[in-house]
Amino acid sequence: MLRITEKGINGNVVLKLEGRIVGPWVTELERAATRILDKGCNLQLDLADVSYVDRAGVMLMKEFKRRGIVLEGCSPFVAEELREAEGLVLDSKRQAPPTGGPAVGRRKGLNKGSARGATHLLQ
């Protein structure tokens, strides 16, 4: 399941995403983003509460990046998934606030110290 909450001010819209970007939710997210972009608004995605992104979701994130949509607040796990799967580059100039919660999951070779910088924004 993916919860999408829209907040907008003066043509700038943030979609706060909560849950997993998988299966039919990838298409739903694409529809929501396209609707906003078609209105001529600037769009940011807040991924702080996203626990997992599947292959189709990663491809959508890559397309969003290409279209100039700002992806922010990734958890270390999701940031690593995006970086490994598609080579998306993290912006080290801006950091998302730390989540303070337990890791959503662990990949082989990813321990507490190895995710340095993974909470940076994706652009």
Rounded-to-integer distance, Cα 114 and Cα 76, Å: 10
Check pLDDT > 70 for residue 97: no
Q: Is residue 71 part of a domain?
A: yes
The pLDDT of residue 121: 38
**Burial readout 86-110 (b: 16 or more C-beta within 10 A, e: otherwise):** eebebeeeeebeeeeeeebeeeeeb
Q: What is the tally of structural domains in the chain? A: 1
Q: Is residue 87 part of a domain?
A: yes
Can you give the CATH number for the domain in which 52 is found?
3.30.750.24
H-state helical runs in the chain: 24-38, 55-66, 76-86
Cβ proximity of 29 and 63 under 8 Å: no
Q: Is residue 72 part of a domain?
A: yes
Cβ proximity of 121 and 72 under 8 Å: yes
Domain that holds residue 24: 2-104+117-122
Partners of 97 in the beta sheet?
none
The pLDDT of residue 88: 52
Check pLDDT > 80 for residue 117: no
Q: Is residue 110 part of a domain?
A: no
Q: Is residue 111 part of a domain?
A: no
Phi then psi dihedrals of residue 78, to 5 deg: -65, -40
The DSSP letter of residue 88 is P
Q: Is residue 109 part of a domain?
A: no
Q: Is residue 92 part of a domain?
A: yes
What are 24-59's pLDDT values in tens digits?
Answer: 999 999 999 999 999 999 999 999 999 999 989 999
Paired tokens of 78? 């999701």
Q: Is residue 112 part of a domain?
A: no
- Whether the predicted model's global pTM rises above the 0.85 cut: no
